Structure 1
Amino acid sequence: MKLINKTVVFDLDGTLIDTLPDIHEALKSTAQKFGLKNLPTEHLRKLLSHGSRKLIESQFDFSEKKFSEKEIKSASKHFINYYKKNISTYSKLFPGIIDCLDWLKNESAKITICTNKYEKLAKQLTRDLEIDSYFSVITGSDTFKYRKPDPLHLKKTIKLAKGKLNNSIMVGDSITDFQTAKNAGIPIIIVGWGYSDIPAKTIGGDSFIEEGKELAKTIKSILI
């Protein structure tokens, strides 16, 4: 129980769960309905950390199609509705994640999620993949009036878990996560298997890992 007073805050998409396949399917459905081109997988991978609106705008741009605010809202609504109904069809945990969560739970750490996914969708996804019981708090882009990289999103998540900043760490895959942790004044581990739009190793952070099996020992080395 060495981590009883420690808080570990995870990003969700690209850090804990490989959500790209289901998001891609939702975008394909949106493309078909609105006469757009499908975003290539590698193009999509670099956009996932920026939220659903950015995905839709990029899909219109990629299709070289001008769009109005009304069209963006309509396409976004279709995308979210489709995704909500098919959120866990192909999504799965990255290798090594469940072992890390088990270790953190056994060490009595406070385990939380701070994501720019809508809170309801984040909770639905963790339930579907049967990992929701690990997390004491899950906050999303609509939980507060602010979202990552605003440090208040992270700080409030830690506060809801009854944790303290000086006993917390974040784990993420993007420059957004790095900026959030840096602005909040807590250490961050950057993972190399996610959806960063720049090489993950160049983001910075207190540690960089390439495999999930490294996660538990890296958290331990920073928090203990």
Structure 2
Amino acid sequence: MLQGYTIAFDLDGTLVDTAPDLVRATNEIMDILGLAHVDVADMRKIVGRGARVSVERAAAISNRQIDDEEMARLLPIFLETYRKGIAISSRAYEGAREAMIALKEMGAKLVICTNKPTHLAQLVLQELELLDYFHGVYGPESTPKTKPDPLHLITAIQGCGGDVARAILIGDSENDVLAAQNASVPVIVTSFGYTMTKAPDLGADAFFDHYDELLELVIAVLKLNH
């Protein structure tokens, strides 16, 4: 039924709850800056626009700005700290693996479209034994403009041999919804992701509370949009 369709997934807050390990790396930077630690709840609100923005937002909680020179020094420390403990506490959301298996069995191609650096996205997927489900992983290095720009999503879909007219994005945030809508691609969001906006208010075609709902939603939304 899904033969010829491409299903793009965001990563953080959509497929995998990465916040616990991101907190560890972020607080390493907060220690260097002499700032208060962030907690997992904070992290889930500030992830989504890449590592630099996450560090900036974490510092901003303590009313601290980071200039370009300082960020150039801190960002490699953050990335290396995170890499070393990338899957200590991160876990795929309940039912996500089973949903991907079901989608692939119905003929869909799966691809990752994330603002996380590609090598880190590949590493966390590999550590959690999820990487083999995907035809490709498209991070910020794969495109001149990242989500919410539609070019990122279009690049991911076409990069794995897919057709933008026969695709759907699964995400969790405003970035995902905007990227999909501007690419004329339907979008489904999680209700448990990394955003301060409630799922019904994101403007997606549909949302779900548990991955056991996803397969039926994908089929329903694609029928509505084709």
Q: Normalization by structure 1: what TM-score?
A: 0.95
Partner of 2:91: 92
Partner of 1:68: 67
List structure 1 segments (4+ residues) > 3 angstroms apart after TM superposition: 64-67
Q: What is the DSSP-based 3-state SS (H/G/I as helix, E as strand, rest coil) of the residue aligned with 2:215?
A: helix
Q: What is the DSSP-based 3-state SS (H/G/I as helix, E as strand, rest coil) of the residue aligned with 1:102?
A: helix
Distance in 1 of aligned mates of 2:168 and 2:219: 10
Distance in 2 of aligned mates of 1:51 and 1:93: 19
Partner of 1:137: 136
Q: What is the DSSP-based 3-state SS (H/G/I as helix, E as strand, rest coil) of the residue aligned with 1:46?
A: helix
Q: What is the DSSP-based 3-state SS (H/G/I as helix, E as strand, rest coil) of the residue aligned with 1:189?
A: strand
Q: How many matched pairs? A: 223
Matches within 5 A, 1:107-122: 107-122=106-121
Partner of 1:47: 46
Q: Which stretches in structure 1 are left out of the alignment for 5+ residues?
A: none
One-letter code aligned to 1:192: S
Distance in 2 of aligned mates of 1:216 and 1:94: 15
Distance in 2 of aligned mates of 1:216 and 1:96: 11
CA contact (8 A) 1:22 1:88 kept: yes
Q: After superposition, what is the alpha-carbon deviation per residue over 1:40-98, rounded to whole angstroms, capped at 9, x for unaligned?
A: 33222111112211221123322333533211222221111100111111100001101
Name the CA shift for 1:26/1:110 in 2 (closer, same or farther; >3 Å): same
Name the CA shift for 1:159/1:66 in 2 (closer, same or farther; >3 Å): closer
Partner of 1:174: 173
CA contact (8 A) 1:6 1:223 kept: no
One-letter code aligned to 2:206: S
Distance in 1 of aligned mates of 2:132 and 2:57: 35
Instruction: Name the Cα RMSD after superposition.
Output: 1.3
Q: How far apart are residue 222 of structure 1 and its match? A: 2.2
Q: Which stretches in structure 2 are left out of the alignment for 5+ residues?
A: none
1:197 matched to 2:196: yes
One-letter code aligned to 1:94: Y
Q: After superposition, what is the alpha-carbon deviation per residue over 1:126-177, rounded to whole angstroms, capped at 9, x for unaligned?
A: 1111111110011001222111111111111111111111110000000000
Partner of 2:148: 149
Distance in 2 of aligned mates of 1:131 and 1:45: 21
Distance in 1 of aligned mates of 2:56 and 2:79: 14
Distance in 1 of aligned mates of 2:5 and 2:92: 23
Moved more, 6-15 or 41-50: 41-50
Moved more, 156-165 or 51-60: 51-60
1:23 matched to 2:22: yes
One-letter code aligned to 1:103: A
Distance in 2 of aligned mates of 1:61 and 1:84: 23
CA contact (8 A) 1:20 1:45 kept: yes
One-letter code aligned to 1:64: N
One-letter code aligned to 1:162: G
The percent identity for this pair of structures is: 33
Moved more, 58-67 or 180-189: 58-67
CA contact (8 A) 1:122 1:138 kept: yes
Distance in 1 of aligned mates of 2:54 and 2:157: 28
Moved more, 128-137 or 62-71: 62-71
